[in-house]
Structure 1
Amino acid sequence: MVPSWFQPTPDSLWNRYRDKPRLRIGSLFHLVWTVYVFGDLVFAEKLGPYWIPATAITFPMFLMLYGLSYVRPVREARLYAIAVALMGYATLKFNTSGGACYVIYACAMMGFDGVPKRCFIGIAAVIAGFMATAWLLLSWPFAVMATLSFIALSVGSVNVIYRFNAQRDAELKLSHDEVRRLAAAAERERIGRDLHDLLGHTLSLITLKLELSRRLLDRDAAAARREMEEAEQVAREALAEVRSAVTGIRASGVVAELAAARLLLNTAMIDFIYTSEMPVLPARVDAELALVLREAVTNIHRHAGASCAEVMVAMDTRACTMTVKDNGRGVDGGEGNGICGMRERVRALGGTLVFESSRQKGTVLRIEVPLTPADRLLSHASVGAPVALPLAGPGRMAS
């Protein structure tokens, strides 16, 4: 049974990492550096008479204090750091490497909690205490004190910077989750408004015609039949409009896929250049090219090992073209299942897909889909080919 004092509290570092088992293991792995507590066995010419009892007493105490700093409330970590630092000062005379090791751990523990300014003040105080003890009481050489102080400052600073970077990453993730939640809520509201506008008038009209046909049924059967036929026609038209609206909701489109690709690739530290002014694509082409683009971007993210990717979409009176490039490792072998699937989608549109890839020279996908007369009529007002203008920063747009 673990004593109640060592049971992790809700506000402890251990519970803070409950969803991150790797960080928990990492916190235990840091104890590997305690090997330097026994460094005098290797580096010292002769051990002092009190080295064994000093080490036997302080090392278990250090392990206990270090463990408490993880399982007790994180606001108490500073107190355990101070205790470890004082124990280090007291150990320097009897176990040189062990005392210095305790001081370095104390600086690391100072970074467990608090704002950066407070953490660095605590680290500076621990180092100042070490310098005073080593200089005034033990007469250590300045070079040795400076070296150990620099190591302690570096370890403590890395701990502070790492913790605050992790906090910023967590806050950024929460912000992204909130943006996605708000976007989903806005989309639900939009769909609700669209369906209301689409069905409200239509259903009211059907209701009125059915009421009228019920009243005319006994007096004028022909007029009642005519009203019911009109109500049936209105219902069929409403059903077609609902199907069209649902199809539009399900299809993400190339513009939405470009936004998703930017988020995916930038998260993987891949610079993404894409079209900022998209031509209005025919619906049948837009939906299928979006799926092809999704598969291509997924391949870049998972397999290409690229640092830069680019997507260009253009359309003229003859055809719609999309080019996807990356500077990744490329392939020498045949086409995989992903390329075959993309090729089948493009072929179903009557288009062609050209796949070019070579080892260490990247990959290029060129897709061309011919436009039908109906496509040209619907897209006549939006014809035009975008021009690539590289802009600074990740997720760059080419306008």
Structure 2
Amino acid sequence: MSTVGIGQRPQNRRQQVVKLLWIGIWLAYLSAPVGDLLHGGHSDGVAVLGWIGLVAFVVWYFALVFRTGRGETNAVVLGSVAVLGAQSTVLSLTLGREWLVLYVYVAISSGAALPFRLARWSIPVVSALLTAVALVVPGGTAFLAGLLFPALLGGFSMTGVRELIRTTIELREARAKVAHLAANEERLRLARDLHDLLGHSLSLITLKSELAGRMLPGHPEKAAQQVADIEQVSRQALVDVREAVTGYRRPRLAAELAGVEVALSTAGVTARVPAEPDLAGVPEDSEAALAWALREAVTNVVRHSGARRCTVELLRRQTLDGPMLELTVEDDGTGGSGEGPGNGLTGLTERLEKAGGTLEATGSRRGFRLVARVPAGSATDVGSAS
């Protein structure tokens, strides 16, 4: 992950640099205190102390922002915010109204670093302190209207962003947990199905093997019949297992479509995919062949094409050969090598021909276009790119 959210600890140097640059941009609003130190007519001693105070404020501010998320208690973070507030008060009272802008940073850091149950009180307290100091500092009331609203808005905006990031993280964790539970459920279902398929057959094989062993010395003809029955049962069990495994390995078009947008977006490709299709009446072989075609096409787009946009369409068309289900994957890339994982385009052609379909793949300067067609069950539209 290249970026880090508000209230989160940077995990690597890149995230530290990104966060440093993002925070550094907003330090431009310190131009008022800097201008006061340079052109405010302060004595050299006061100016030096002012620079020291400003640097100390910025350093503490950065420390608060970067240390957040390292396991500190709310009391430690709240104490850090209080230190920033005290620095702002001392600098504003001693150097003038230009320094009131520091309270905006205090309010924003409070909203970004504290949980909402504390920030909803600390932000108004900081704003009230800003108001009180502005009424005391000469000319401060002229700056109050321009600073009070940004302090309140910025502080509570940070609480909203922080909660949004926290919710997003929780949703990702929940999604990962759901996927893990789904995988466990699928393994349990496979175990149940294999038990149902093989339990009876293996029990029967065991029973007949025992009978054959007992019959073999005195009744070889009956023993041979039991052995023939064992062979028949074992062959049927093998067929059942192969059908079950083929069913589990068979890709589903709806599942492949659901993963297309995620895969393309992760690769930085803008995707347009159809809504969940109605595949009623479509033969399983046709659906599986299109699912393989979609998987190979998207893999080629991600790995080889260098495309920025990709459009996926799924339509039913009435042809002279009957209703056909047509899948189109078109991108604006270079066309790539045309060979994805597995069998590539040659394997796709053979797979589609086995299902009674066809494959067309054409490349040009404007990109690459793959069209796969398989027999369908009816002649109504399935959907189009949304």
Q: Which amino acid aligns with 1:274?
A: A
1:314–1:253 CA distance, 2 compared to 1 (3 A): farther
Select 2:381's aligned residue among 372, 387, 390: 387
The residue that corresponds to 1:59 in the other structure is 55
Partner in structure 2 of residue 367 of structure 1: 372
Matches within 5 A, 1:120-159: 120-140=120-140, 142=142, 144-159=143-158
Aligned mates of 2:243, 2:183 — CA distance in 1? 21
TM-score w.r.t. length of structure 1: 0.75
Q: What letter corresponds to residue 272 of structure 1 in structure 2?
A: V
Residues of 1 paired with 2:201 and 2:258: CA distance? Answer: 35
1:83–1:293 distance in 2 versus 1, CA, 3 Å: same
Give the superposed CA RMSD.
3.8
Structure 2 unmatched runs, 5+: none
8 A Cα contact 2:53 2:87, kept in partner: no
Task: Work out whether residues 316 and 382 of structure 2, in 8 Å CA contact, stay in contact via their aligned partners in 1.
Answer: no
Secondary structure, counterpart of 1:92 in structure 2? helix
Q: Secondary structure at the match of 1:138?
A: coil
CA shift at 1:274, angstroms?
3.1
CA deviation profile, 1:293-323 (whole Å, cap 9, x unmatched): 1233345667543486443467987464332
CA deviations on 1:203-245 (whole Å, 9 max, x unpaired) are 1111111111111111111111121122022112212221222
- 1:178 has 2:182 as partner: no
Q: Distance in 2 between matches of 1:386 and 1:14?
A: 49
Residue 283 to residue 366, structure 1, CA distance change in 2 (3 Å)? same
Superposed CA offset, 1:334-361 (max 9, x none): 563258965323321324333467777x
Match of 2:308 in 1: 305
> Which residue in the other structure is 1:321 paired with?
325
Q: Which residue of 1 aligns with 2:349?
A: 347
- The aligned residue for residue 209 of structure 2 is 210
Q: Is the 8 A contact 1:275 1:312 kept in 2?
A: no
Residue 247 in 1 paired to residue 273 in 2? no
1:377 maps to which residue?
A: none
2-side partners of 1:180 and 1:300: how far apart?
25
Identical aligned residues as a percent: 26
1:17 aligns with 2:22: no
Alignment of 1:67-216 (within 5 A): 67-68=63-64, 70=67, 73-75=72-74, 76-96=76-96, 99-116=99-116, 118-140=118-140, 142=142, 144-216=143-215
Counterpart amino acid of 1:182? Answer: L
* Secondary structure in structure 1 of the residue aligned to 2:274: strand
Q: 2:41 aligns with which of 38, 43, 47?
A: 47
**What is the distance in 1 between the residues matched to 2:261 and 2:54?**
54
1:323–1:367 contact (8 Å) kept in structure 2: yes
- How far off is 1:260 after superposition? 2.5
Of stretches 42-51 and 85-94 in structure 1, the one that deviates more from structure 2 is 42-51
* 1:305 aligned partner, one-letter code: R
Partner SS state of residue 354, structure 1 = strand
1:368 deviates by: 1.9
User: Comparing 298-307 with 204-213, which one deviates more in the overlay?
Assistant: 298-307
CA gap 1:261/1:193 in 2 versus in 1, 3 angstroms? same
Counterpart amino acid of residue 122 in structure 1: S
CA 1:152–1:357 in 2, change beyond 3 Å: closer, same or farther? farther
Equivalent pairs, count: 364
Partner of 2:295: 294
Question: Cα distance, 1:284 vs. partner?
Answer: 4.3
The CA distance in 2 between the partners of 1:47 and 1:84, in whole Å, is 25
Q: Which residue of 2 aligns with 1:376?
A: none
Indicate conservation of the 8 Å contact 2:293/2:372, yes or no.
Answer: no
CA contact (8 A) 2:290 2:327 kept: no
For residues 295 and 288 of structure 1, what CA distance do their matches in structure 2 show? 11
In structure 2, what is the Cα distance between the partners aligned to 1:195 and 1:261?
Answer: 31
User: How far apart are residue 63 of structure 1 and its match?
Assistant: 1.9
Deviation of residue 249 (structure 1)?
A: 1.5
- Provide the rounded CA distance (Å) in 2 between the counterparts of 1:367 and 1:209: 50
In structure 2, the CA distance between the partners of 1:160 and 1:102, relative to structure 1 (3 Å rule), is: same
